[in-house]
Structures are given as C-alpha cells and as structure tokens.
Structure 1
Amino acid sequence: MDQARSTISKIFNGEPHSYTRFNLTRNMEGDNSQVEMKLSSDMDEETGGNGAGEHLNHNSNRKPYVAQKLGRTPQNLCFMAVATLLIFIIGYLIGYLVHRKKDLAPTCADSMVRYDNRAAIETGAAPLMNWDKVKKLLAEQVSADKFDSVFREFSSDNHRAGSLSDEVLGEKVVKRFREYGMKTWTDEHFVKVQDGPASGSNSFSYKGKQESPTGFLSYSANGTITGAVLYAFYGEEKNLRLLKSRNINMTGRVMLVKTGRISFAEKVANAAKMGASAVLIYPDPSKASIGGSTQLYGHVHLGSGDPYTPGFPSFNHTQFPPINSSGLPKILAQTITLDMAISILRQLGGGNAPEEWESPNKLGDDSDNITLGVDNVLSEKKIVNVFGVIKGFVDADRYVVIGAQRDAWGPGFAASTVGTSVLVELARSISDMVKNGGFKPRRSIVFASWSAGEYGSVGATEWLEGYLSSLSMKAFSYINLDGVVTGQKYLKVAASPLLHGLVESTLKEVNSPNKAGSLFSEFAKDNMESNVLEPMKLDNAAYPFLAFSGIPSASFRFTSENSDYLYFGTTLDTREKLNAATGNKVPQLAEAATRVAGHMVLRLVHDHLLRMDVEKYNKIIRNRVAQINNKVHSVLRLQPQLLSKVLTMQWLMSAYGSYSRASSKLAADIQNSNMDDIKMCRTLNDRIMMVERNFLSPYVSPRDTPFRHILLGSGPHTLQGLYGHLEALRMDHPEADAKLFRNQFALATWTIQGCANSLAGDVWSLDNEI
C-alpha cells in the first residue's frame, strides 16, 4: 500500500495532501449554490501567501491546477489511464484477500442478534402495540386465584405508622418490586404524630359516671374542660346553622355528633367556628352492627401531611420555622363508643332535635354538663415510603403515579391490605407485560406504598411537599388504591373532571365480577354522573394530589353503602368482616379493582395523547359563575351599598369565556396535528398537564391554605368560598367583609384567566380582553 501511495503521489507530481478545502458560494442570481473543490496546496498560489484574495473570484479564467501541471497531451492522458487501471487491479486484489480471510475465519453468528430480529425502534408517536392487544395481555395476567396468597403476605394484625410491622411490610413491597425487575427506592420522613396517652387513656365524666375510651383523635388539643352537652347530629355546617336559627347558644358547649357524611376534622372545625369547647364523636347508631363497645380512631387535622411542617417536607435534619398548620384544632376532640353515647343521649334535657334529623333525641340544656380530659402524646416517628418504577420508552420523564396506604390502626384489611395487594399485583402484571409480552409504555409508571395514611395522608403529602417543583412538571396523574374494596353493591368514583372520560371508557371495557356485562352497564346504568361519580372528600388520599399539587387524580371503590365502610378507623377491620360485607367475593372484587386501575394506568401511558378532556371544566366553571352572578344580584337588591358601582360580573364572565375558547382551540389543535410527531404530541400533552395546576391559586400561601384549587379546593379563595361570602354579605353577617370579597373575587377571576392563557399555548395566542 505504501508503494501504491508513492506511485499516486508521483503521478500527480506533488506531495500527498492532508485535507481538502470546500468553498461554498451562493449564486446571487438564483437559489442554487456553487461548490468548488480545491486542494489545500492551492492556497498560497491563490492568495499570494496571505490566505486572502483571488479564490473569491469565480470568473477567473485560470486552468485548474492539475491541468496546468500535467497538460492535456496524449502521452500524459494515456499514462493517467494506465495508472487508474493499475490502482483498480490492486484494490480488487486487496479486497479479495481480506474477504477470503473472513470466510475462512470462525464466525459467532449464532451468538449475535441480527438487526432484522431486534425489537422495532419507535420513531414516531404511534403506538407499537394495538390497544386490544394491551388489554388482552393484562387480562392474561390478572386472576382472582392469585390474590389469596398476596393477601396473606401483606396482612398484619398491627402495623401502625412508624412501627416495626409497618417497616417489615415496606421491605416486603420493595422485595417484590425488585423481583419484578423494577428500579426501587425509598423516601424517609421524620414526622410528628399524636397518639393516645402514654399510660391509661383519655376520660370524661357525665352525671357522676366516669368513662375511659381507649380510642382517640390524633392532633386534638390537650387539656380539661367542662361544658354543657349539645347534640348536633352529623356536625355539618347546615346542622349547626339550623341550631343557630333556633337561637341556641353554642359557645362553650361540648357537641355530641355521630360519624358519617364529613370527616372528623370537618366536624371539629365546624364546631370550633361556632364557639364550642369540645367535640365528642360516636358511631352512627344506624350502623349498630359495629358493636356498642367498639373504639374509634382517627385524626382531626383539617389538612394533610405533618401539621407541624405545613408546606415543607419533614426530612431529617432540616430546619424550618417552628409553625403549626392552620388546620390544627384549638378545641378538644375525642371519640366515644356507641354505648357511651347512648347513655349520654338518654339523660339529655332541653328541646327536641329538629324533625329533619329524624331523631327522637333531646338537644341538651345548660345543666347537662360533662367534663372531658384529653392528654394525647406528640412524638416524632420515622416513616418510609416505598417506590418502584417501570420506565417509559418515549417520554420516560413523564409518569403516572399509582399508590396505596400501607399502615393501619389495627389489622386494616380493607383500609390497607387489599390496596397494597392490588398495587403489588398490578406492578407484577405490567412488569411481565413489558418483559415478556412486548408492551412498551410511552411514559413511566411509578408505584408507591405510603406510610402514615391514617394520620391524614402524611407519607404521600410529605413526598409531594418534598418534590413539588419536580412533580409539577412531570407527574401527570395519580390513581389511589386505598379502600378499593368495601362491598359489592355500588361502584363509586371520585376524580378530577379531566379524567371523567377515561373513567367512563374504562368501566365500559372491564367486565363485572357480579354478572355478565361491563362495570358500566351494571353500576352506571347509562348515567355515570349520578350513579357512579361522587365529590372527592377532604380525607381521600387522592385529595392532596389534586387540590394541593394540581395533579389530576382518581379514587374508586366497590362498596355496599353510599357512606364509608363500617369498620374503618377500628381494630375490627379484618378479612372476616370484609368477607361478610362482600359475600365472600374479596378476591373477585380485588381482581376487578386491579383491572380498573390497570386499564386507567395503561391508557395513560399507551396513547400518544393523554386521555384528559380539558373541555370538562367548561360546565363546572359556567355553573359556578352563574351561581355567583345570581347571588351578586341578590346582594345588590338587599345590600346595594356593599357592591354597587364597585363590582362587575363582566370580569369573571370574560375569564370563563377565555377558558372556553382556549379549551376549544386546544381540541382543534389536537384534531389538526400530526400524531406521528413525537415533539408535537409532547407539546400538546404539556399544555394538557398544565390545566389542573393552573387552577391552583397563586395568591394564597400553601402553608396557610394548602388546598389552593379554586374549583375543587377548600377555603375563601375558591369559587365556592366566594359564593358563601356573598351569602354572608346578603345576610349581613358580622364576619362578612365587602372589601375582602372584592379582592378575592378579582384574584379568582385572574386565576381562571391565567389558566386560559396557559392553555392557549403561545403568547401571541393569548386573549386578555378583561
């Protein structure tokens, strides 16, 4: 080869050149470009040795360099032809010898994967697998027969948050995730929780009889008080307003209320607003099968997470201001048994309870005094959240989170065991679909096992607080598995309106465990809104994801009652009790719950566009605006001096119009876009993901008002709060403040407008006509 190079150099009468230079110039008279290749040794000759000059002149009449050196004589041309032929023959011989050597050498073709046999590489946004095939793969994985062994593995008689049993269960979950080939990690928090007295129990004394219930309500105020008992039905705001309309003084009273309809925390908060000094909560007598001596456990923090680090994560060795959540009650709260409550009710005097309450109870008078002492203990506990992830193949940094509570007050079979079992089985099923079934999720799936759920979704909320800035851009949905099986008569779903369409399509695809046909045909009966959908309550574990973090969330349950499961918050939540409530169909219902959650999750990571309907919020906003508009006119008729010439509904109506147009524009953009374009799909999905988050009011503090969602949150900043404030103005309530209302009205209006602006996309597409 060296001789060949030498020959070639001699032919061209010069030294071998190390590189060539390309000169690209544009033909100013047209769109074509001229490309002139010159050898680098031309440089000095063209430029006179200084690198600039004549090579820019394309009209030069000089002959090319080779022609000048060799000339176009017949002798030289013949010599060049012979040299070319010689080079070709040498090259052919070299190539033949190399190829022959390869043929004689041993091959490893059997151990290599040929390109043709490799898995297809996704180059567009279209799915690699048909959705019907995905459903079939999931159907082959999930079986009721597999659940009994899983139930046994994750059952425990006592696994309260922070206990050794809770930690052992977490280790079992991690082990399972690793067996499935998932990447796992844990998240530790050091949280403050309140348990019952270190020795003995809280107590109360009524008409000479001392009682000591062993149940307790975490985060109650401590101390001892004496006050007159007042029966207040369920402790709802409307119940207390009815008592007030009867001119019943509630200041300093000890309110006696029963479980149901609203959370313990809301009952206590409502009583505190009316000036009560304490609240006693007992089991609803209509659920008498719970037993007269059954103790109740729960919490009364009107919020979620560690109430001593509101808005901040409870990581170890972190120092945040020593503040308390605004949701911590300042009055005493305690649970009592049904037998204890009946004894008190029988001895009450005073007037009769309202007929609407359908109760023969007396309300109580000033002489029905009770003394209550609460001495709960606040302690710090380490809790551990456990995670596993199946990574996506296109947008791996976008993920759906599916989670279940792991702890419980006692056995917690319905509260945590079933949900944890469904979580683990779903992780196994989808992992196997990816490894052996050829399924390739576009986006990632994060499986989460939370601790301290019984204290108010503490584990989940602390995780949200710790990683909120990251989650707000990447987590696009949350599916909650807590309490998914408590009966079989009804199916109830609480979800963000963005997910209603996904829920409906899922119920139509999943078969019922009770009878032939789909879940939709059995439970929805062609009207999902009235028969299946329900509002998401404050004590739902999905609520902080939705109202605090702005992540579209869903929670569902098979149930025998429209109210909560009878044995939640007790030590009677066992497999036997759940069998009785479900007709011994727990495995079959767990299978159905796995299919529901699985179909929702797989749809969210399979389709090129997220299954979320941004136009669903149009109706909700329109209805709230109409309600506020009617109430404003009512206030103007009765209290014209408060709002006259200061407030106009045009602002809020225009903001609603902007959102309506922006959501319709996004729907049109989706219809007119190329769905094979990954970048385009990602841009559209990002616009969809921002909707829920932009309904979080940026004008309130997440520490003081954690549930900032103006449509689904809680507080005076919400549209529902504005409606309530208008009612207070109409009634000339002393706490009503017209100036404060106008400020909140303006901020809520601009929050809706800001959401519309974000949904519209580019800045030149915005509509700010307010």
Structure 2
Amino acid sequence: MFDEKYERIDRRSGTNFHYFLLLPCLVFFGFYSLFNHSVFEFSFTEQDIDPKKVVLDALETNLASNWSRKYTAEPHLAGTNYGLVKWTEEKFAEYGFDTTIDPYEIYVSYPNDHDLNLVNSSGDVIYKAPLKEDELKKDPTTKGNDTIPTFLGYAANGNVTAEYVYANYGTREDFDTLKENNVNVTGKIVIVRYGKIFRGLKVKFAQDNGAIGVLLYSDPGDDHGITPANGYKQYPHGPARQESSVQRGSVQFLGGIGSAPGDPTTPGYPSKPGAERQDPHASIGKIPALPISYREVKPILAKLNGQGKKIKGFEGELEGFKYYTGPNSNYTLNLYNDQIYNITTMWNVYGEIKGEKTDEVIIIGNHRDAWIKGGAGDPNSGSAVLLEVARALGELKKAGYKFKRTIVLHSYDGEEYGLLGSTEQGEFFADKYQREVIAYLNLDVAVSGKHFKLGSSPVLNKILLEIAKELVYPEEGVGSLYDHYVKAKGGEHIPTLGSGSDYTVYLEHLGIPSVDLGFQEGKEDPVYHYHSNYDSYYWISEFADKGFVYHNLAAKYLALLTLGISERELINFGLQDYSKGLLSYLNTTISRVPKEWLSKPIKLQECYDWSDSVYISKVTNGYYAPDRPHGTRSMMMKYTSNLKNKHTLETVIDHAFENLHSLHNSTLSFDAQTAYLQEKFEEPNQPFWQKIRLHYQIKYHNKYLQYFERNFLHSKGLHERPWFKHIIFASGRYTGYAGQNLPGLNEAIEDEDFDRFVRWLKIVSKTAKRVSKRLHN
C-alpha cells in the first residue's frame, strides 16, 4: 500500500523519471543517516537511559508545595506582577528549557469602586452589602490590604436602581420560563445563582431580555450537601463553604452567538502593538454586574418571599428565602459598578526543549493569572504541576537524553478574563502551530479534589487510558489510576471538550488535538472556593490535598503522557476512537431531528466551495486535501447528478451514515498499519535499504496522524460564530463551558432551521468521505 502511495506522489510531481533521479540521493542519504543516527536515533546514550524511570525518580522528590506557596503569596491578576513572569521564566531556564517572554497588548478592565444598597419604598437604605470577604485568622492569604476586591472582569460600568427578580441559574431556558410565567425582567435587576452555564452568558441572556443589571451569588444548594444545615462547619473550621465567599470571574460572552474568546477588540487576530481595534460589545456586555456572597444576598432575596411566582426547579437551599421570583414593588436595589478599562500588556512565558523532529511539537500549557491573591487551585495547582514536569524533563535532558520531538511549556497570562494569552498567541502563531504542533496538553485547576478528570479529542483517548494504568491511585485498595477512573465513570468514557480554558484556541480554532486533565472535587470532598480569597495555600494544603499527593500524581501522569506522545516513533494516536465517536455523535443528533423533517424534499445545492478545499490543504500541509477535478463544471454536474437521487432528508442521513461507517473502517485499517509500522521500526538488525524505506513510510504515515484533526475544520466557521472552525467539537453557544458535538447540526435543530441542517449534514458527510478515501489510499 505504501509503495503505491510514493509512486503516486512521484507521478503528481512529474514523471517516474524524477523518481530514478532521486533514488541515488536517497541511497546516499540513507547511508549518511545510518552513520549519523539521524533517521532512527539509535545512539548509545539513549539505549542506556530509561526515560520513564528518570522522570519518575525525579518526581519521587515532591516540590509542588514550594511552587504553590510561591505563586499564591502575591496578587497576580492578569497583566500585573511582572516579577512572577520573570520567576517563571527563570525556573524554565533552570531546568534546561530555552525561554521566551511574549507580550500582547490587550483590552481589559480592573476594579475601582462598587456599591450595592437595598432601598425601601420611602427611599431609605435598609441594607448595604459589604462586598468584601472576611479575613480569617487561620488563613494568612485573606489578611492585609493586598487582596483583590470582589468584581467581575469586563462587567460594564453603571449606576442603576430598579426592582429586582430572581432568575434561578440565568440560563436561556430559565428566562423563557420566566416569560411563560409572566414575570417580566425588562428594566429590572436580575439575581442569578452560579452554576449550569458560564457566568458571562448569564449576563448576556439577562441583557438580551431587557435587564439593566445583574447580581451573581453561590447557592448552598449547589454544594452537594456539604452545608452548615447538614452539620458541616464552614471553612476554615470545616469543609463547608465560607458564607462570605465570593466567586469573581469574567463576564465575557466566550462562546456565545457573535462572540469569540480572546481580546474583545481584536476578534480573530492577535493583539500586538498597532492592531486595529473594534467595538468590544459583540463579546462583552453593556449592563453592570456584581458578584456577591450568599450571606450578602440573603437579606435581599428574603424581600421576594411571597412575591411573584414560585417555579418548580428554581429552588436552592438558601436559609430564609422561599425562592419566589419577585419582584416586590416595595423594594429596589441600587447597583453601582466602576472599573478602569484600558489596553494592558500581558506576558506569556515559553520554555522549549528541541527534539530531533523539530516539525513535530507538543505544547503543555497552564495559565498563571488569578482573580485573587491565592489561586492555589485555579490556576496555580496547574502552575505547580507544570514546574514539576519541567523539573523532571530537565533531569532527563541533563542525563544526556535526546528527545525525539520538541516539547514546549507555556505559562499564559489573562486566561481568567477570557482565554486572552492563549487565544492571542494561538492567532499570532496560527500557521506555525498548524504546521508543527501534534498535541496540546492543558493544565488549569490540576487539583481541587481527589477525583481524576479527563476531557479530550478522541484521538488521544487510547494513550490517556494507557498511561493511567501505569500509576497507582493514592487511596488504599483502589488500584491504579485507571481503576479509579473507570470505576468513577462507569467505563472508559472520556468526555469531549467545550471551552473555559486554554485548550479552546488549539482544538476549536486551529484543529490541534487537545486534552484537559486534573483532579477535581467530588460530592464528598470539601467545597472548592472557586475564584474566592479562600482558594488559598492554607485551603489546598489543609483541605484539598494534604501533602500535595495529588499534585505529585498529576505531575507523574502528565510527564509520562508527554513521553508517551513524544518518544514513540509512530505518533501515538488512535483514529478509530475518533470515527467511533463520530458515529455516536451523529446517532445522538439524529434522534433529536423532528420527525416531519425526515420526509421533506431536499433542494439542489450549489457546487462545491473550493475555498474550503484551499483552506484544508493549507492547514494540513496538503494532506487530506481533495484532488481538484479538471474543471469546476464537471464537479458541479457530478454533484447535481448525485443529488437527484437524494429526494428527502432521510436518504441524505442514510448516506451520511454510510460515509461515517466507511471512515470507521478506514481508521481501523489505518490504526492497524500504525501498529505494524511501529513493530517494524522496533525490529533489530534490518538491512539498510529496509530502514530507508521504513523511514519514509513512517514519515508519511505520521503526517497523516499529525494533521488528522485539522481536516475537520471549516473555513467559514460555525453559523454566526466564525472564530469556531471545528465541525465536530465546539463550546456550546448557550452554555459556554460545556461542549457540543456536531455543533452545526445541533444548532440548526435548536433554531428549527431545516435548510441549515441539510447544509451541515452535507459538510459532515463530505468530510467523512474525503478523509476515509485518503486513509484508505
């Protein structure tokens, strides 16, 4: 099969005569490579080194606590604390990485002043919210005058006074439910609890429904029963939420309709000096918003008891509140928010160890900025793990090991505001990354509990589970990390990705396989004080991870995962998991299609859009690009002729399934060939001519693996969200955090748009057919 491929390549470049001219050069190169170890890297030093052992031995010394203490000792809001930027760079350099600091000029907001008053019908202020978290004697991070005020990044400035309404989680469905119950939010301040969806979309939906301000609070009903009402003491005396805890955060719209992550003034292009600036309000709101604690919101919400409607599903567990919607005409809220908006420099820090395959790169990323002085869980558990991985890989480099592939560490700035540092650099280096990067491995909250979590592109599922089998889970009697994960998940299922962290630009904009990993809190774990002052070194060391055991396990897992991807000769991807997933996603999607659609006739479509072919050719370096026919007219006639046999949606669906099944069969064969080539590579004492031939077979095969994910990008992006290019995975436009598989199809169903559904079905089907054909050939 592979000999035929090379012959076809030669034919396309001219004639077979060129092949014979090239053959002596290849033979010479083969001899040269064998003597210089540049093809198969069989050096004496590497044979003497067991890379896994070196890495795991290095991590037997656990320094994660040191790094956590350092990062959480000072405020490090995005675009501030250049000292931590330099310190991070110095640590990367200390461990043998070549370093770079990469600045961006980004539009962002900082807290200046805020106020919140409950006013009665006489105009008297009967309650003034402190808008401040308590200082705790046991937690040094909460003391002093250097903590960051409670605020929401990108919340609009304003001073508004109005009646107020409780709107549950503030989802799109919640606002629809209020309308159905004749509860009008126009001109009102809306109070919503955290949970279900990204906070920025809560503000967006409130604004879209006519609200003039928003308050967000954390309801004890979402703490899985770890509450004072159930006998648990509050932090720092117990695992329950501290009642003055406030979740800060960004209210950028992230993945909402018309918006995109990154700098809201430079959508789709990097915020380097001189960049053209646009109106940011496609991605950020126009109404003021504040976060408050559940202690602060209780006297406010209590005034709604008996007012408005009591709606099933809107209940929480806030003491003294009966979960009526309001409003109460006898009370208003005065909400004041003042922030300083400007263009601020943010700094990404990179560290690189060059591998022998410099055009095959693995990036490991974590963000450095936090909403508070601490940030022990978010993001600095990930920062600590990143430094531990750097230290372990540095020990391997120091031992004389030559890495097969290039490994790059990234420490981003500005993630909290809307994935700023990662998105801007992803846009800036788009061509380079799409050419070179194999995979992106993401750390964010690496540890906030004991439960292992994974989310990934399916091509990585196989190796993610393989690595988990190599490590012991710390809890006695559980077994391996794999055993723990499978028991908790009820199987080997690994969820796909949505958004809310730095992998978004890699997977959903650039088509680079990505994984997000870490240990999160479960139902019986201490409540995680997300984006609060209490996400501190004291909390993580005394409640979440005593002894930093799970930090250490995360570092071992990530280091082994990096080696598993970087050091195997064949890129360690499993394509059949991807194609199997596609079949599952389409099955789920089709089950949601209205029955009356199935028999609807299909209109003839326009001929193939060659701009997409050019785009796919570009982002795969020519791999997977369809062979262009001799003339557009012949393609159009063929396309139209085929469509005459597809009279209804049901027949088009059947054809799409046929193409996906064909793709699945092709991936099975391709994975088998991957295993075969790896086995052949490991065979000793091969004749030199077989080594030369195998070298080029592997190189060719690896390029298909490297660019496989890119093939599922669409040049024009999703409907009303052109930044999101991936046709299989995207952030949900109504959820933000949660992902949506086959977004083009599912969004069309949500919008009851039959023609758009047909168009996206053809895009998915055509892509599957093209990839299947290329893999098969």
2:346 aligned with 1:383:
yes
Alignment of 1:218-229 (within 5 A): 218-229=153-164
| Contact 2:662/2:772, CA 8 A, preserved across alignment | no
Q: Partner of 2:439 in structure 1? A: 477
Q: Partner of 1:171 in structure 2? A: 86
Q: Partner of 1:180 in structure 2? A: 95
The aligned length equals 627
Change beyond 3 A, Cα 1:535–1:246: farther
Question: How many angstroms does 1:704 deviate by?
Answer: 4.5
Structure 2 regions of 5+ residues with no counterpart? Answer: 1-33, 132-148, 228-233, 235-240, 255-260, 605-645, 682-693, 734-739
2:768 aligned with 1:750:
no
Change beyond 3 A, Cα 1:570–1:541: same
1:156 to 73, 92, 104: 73
Pairwise CA RMSD of aligned residues? Answer: 3.4
Alignment of 1:238-387 (within 5 A): 238-286=173-221, 287=223, 289=234, 290-303=241-254, 304-316=261-273, 318-324=274-280, 326-348=282-304, 349-355=307-313, 357=315, 360-365=322-327, 367=329, 369-387=332-350
Once the two structures are superposed, what CA deviation does each residue of 1:312-369 show, in whole Å capped at 9, x if it has no partner? 11112x2325243633223332212222211111110222231574553111136254
| Contact 2:454/2:515, CA 8 A, preserved across alignment | yes
Question: How many angstroms does 1:555 deviate by?
Answer: 1.3
Q: Partner of 1:233 in structure 2? A: 168
Q: Partner of 2:107 in structure 1? A: 192
| Contact 2:359/2:435, CA 8 A, preserved across alignment | no
Q: Partner of 1:690 in structure 2? A: 707
Question: How many angstroms does 1:299 deviate by?
Answer: 0.5
Mark the structure with the bigger radius of gyration: 1
Tell me the secondary structure at the aligned position of residue 392 of structure 1: coil
Q: Partner of 2:742 in structure 1? A: 719
Question: How many angstroms does 1:120 deviate by?
Answer: 8.0
2:151 aligned with 1:216:
yes
Whole-angstrom distance in 2 between the partners of 1:404 and 1:564: 24
Whole-angstrom distance in 2 between the partners of 1:578 and 1:396: 39
Q: Partner of 2:623 in structure 1? A: none
Which stretch of the first structure deviates more once superposed, 558-567 or 185-194?
A: 558-567
Q: Partner of 2:116 in structure 1? A: 203
Tell me the secondary structure at the aligned position of residue 400 of structure 1: strand
Change beyond 3 A, Cα 1:694–1:275: farther
Change beyond 3 A, Cα 1:233–1:157: same
| Contact 1:201/1:212, CA 8 A, preserved across alignment | no
Whole-angstrom distance in 1 between the partners of 2:483 and 2:349: 36
Change beyond 3 A, Cα 1:217–1:260: same
| Contact 1:385/1:448, CA 8 A, preserved across alignment | yes
Once the two structures are superposed, what CA deviation does each residue of 1:621-679 show, in whole Å capped at 9, x if it has no partner? 32333344344442449x97999998524335434433442353244245346443233
Change beyond 3 A, Cα 1:296–1:528: closer
2:701 aligned with 1:709:
no
Whole-angstrom distance in 1 between the partners of 2:603 and 2:719: 29
| Contact 1:478/1:552, CA 8 A, preserved across alignment | yes
2:492 aligned with 1:552:
no
Question: How many angstroms does 1:190 deviate by?
Answer: 0.9
Change beyond 3 A, Cα 1:435–1:760: farther
| Contact 1:256/1:281, CA 8 A, preserved across alignment | yes
2:383 aligned with 1:420:
yes
1:523 to 484, 501, 507: 484
Whole-angstrom distance in 2 between the partners of 1:143 and 1:334: 44
| Contact 2:649/2:758, CA 8 A, preserved across alignment | no
Whole-angstrom distance in 2 between the partners of 1:635 and 1:643: 16
Once the two structures are superposed, what CA deviation does each residue of 1:372-411 show, in whole Å capped at 9, x if it has no partner? 2332221121111111111112x22211100111121222
| Contact 2:218/2:294, CA 8 A, preserved across alignment | yes
Q: Partner of 1:502 in structure 2? A: 463
Once the two structures are superposed, what CA deviation does each residue of 1:490-549 show, in whole Å capped at 9, x if it has no partner? 111122222121211111111112335644355224574668744534213323322222
Q: Partner of 2:410 in structure 1? A: 448
Q: What is the TM-score normalised by the length of structure 1? A: 0.74
Q: Partner of 1:761 in structure 2? A: 774
Whole-angstrom distance in 1 between the partners of 2:491 and 2:340: 44
Specify the code of the residue in structure 2 equivalent to 1:172: W
Change beyond 3 A, Cα 1:483–1:281: same
Whole-angstrom distance in 2 between the partners of 1:257 and 1:759: 47
Change beyond 3 A, Cα 1:299–1:660: same
Whole-angstrom distance in 2 between the partners of 1:630 and 1:552: 28
| Contact 2:663/2:768, CA 8 A, preserved across alignment | no
Specify the code of the residue in structure 2 equivalent to 1:187: D
Q: Partner of 2:567 in structure 1? A: 606
Whole-angstrom distance in 1 between the partners of 2:763 and 2:713: 11
Whole-angstrom distance in 2 between the partners of 1:445 and 1:647: 50
Whole-angstrom distance in 2 between the partners of 1:215 and 1:550: 36
2:537 aligned with 1:575:
yes
Whole-angstrom distance in 2 between the partners of 1:560 and 1:665: 40
Structure 1 regions of 5+ residues with no counterpart? Answer: 1-117, 730-737, 766-770
Specify the code of the residue in structure 2 equivalent to 1:372: L
Specify the code of the residue in structure 2 equivalent to 1:268: V
Whole-angstrom distance in 1 between the partners of 2:216 and 2:505: 25
| Contact 1:293/1:339, CA 8 A, preserved across alignment | yes
Tell me the secondary structure at the aligned position of residue 280 of structure 1: strand
| Contact 1:699/1:747, CA 8 A, preserved across alignment | no
Tell me the secondary structure at the aligned position of residue 413 of structure 1: coil
Whole-angstrom distance in 2 between the partners of 1:309 and 1:701: 18
Once the two structures are superposed, what CA deviation does each residue of 1:422-476 show, in whole Å capped at 9, x if it has no partner? 212211211221331x543321110111111221221111110111111112112
Specify the code of the residue in structure 1 equivalent to 2:262: G
Q: Partner of 2:736 in structure 1? A: none
Q: Does 1 or 2 have the higher relative contact order (CA < 8 Å, sep 6+)?
A: 2
Whole-angstrom distance in 1 between the partners of 2:402 and 2:517: 26
| Contact 2:362/2:407, CA 8 A, preserved across alignment | yes
Tell me the secondary structure at the aligned position of residue 615 of structure 1: helix
Whole-angstrom distance in 2 between the partners of 1:758 and 1:533: 23
Whole-angstrom distance in 2 between the partners of 1:160 and 1:205: 30
Q: Partner of 1:699 in structure 2? A: 716
Q: Partner of 2:237 in structure 1? A: none
Question: How many angstroms does 1:232 deviate by?
Answer: 2.1
Q: Partner of 1:136 in structure 2? A: 53
2:649 aligned with 1:648:
yes
Question: How many angstroms does 1:620 deviate by?
Answer: 3.3
Q: What is the TM-score normalised by the length of structure 2? A: 0.73
Change beyond 3 A, Cα 1:718–1:143: closer
Whole-angstrom distance in 1 between the partners of 2:545 and 2:507: 34
Specify the code of the residue in structure 2 equivalent to 1:650: T
Once the two structures are superposed, what CA deviation does each residue of 1:209-247 show, in whole Å capped at 9, x if it has no partner? 444634111112332334432222222334334434434
Alignment of 1:52-63 (within 5 A): none
Q: What percent identity do the matched residue pairs reach?
A: 23
Q: Partner of 2:555 in structure 1? A: 594
| Contact 1:663/1:760, CA 8 A, preserved across alignment | no
Whole-angstrom distance in 2 between the partners of 1:273 and 1:723: 22
Which stretch of the first structure deviates more once superposed, 640-649 or 207-216?
A: 640-649
Whole-angstrom distance in 1 between the partners of 2:720 and 2:388: 37
Whole-angstrom distance in 2 between the partners of 1:230 and 1:220: 19
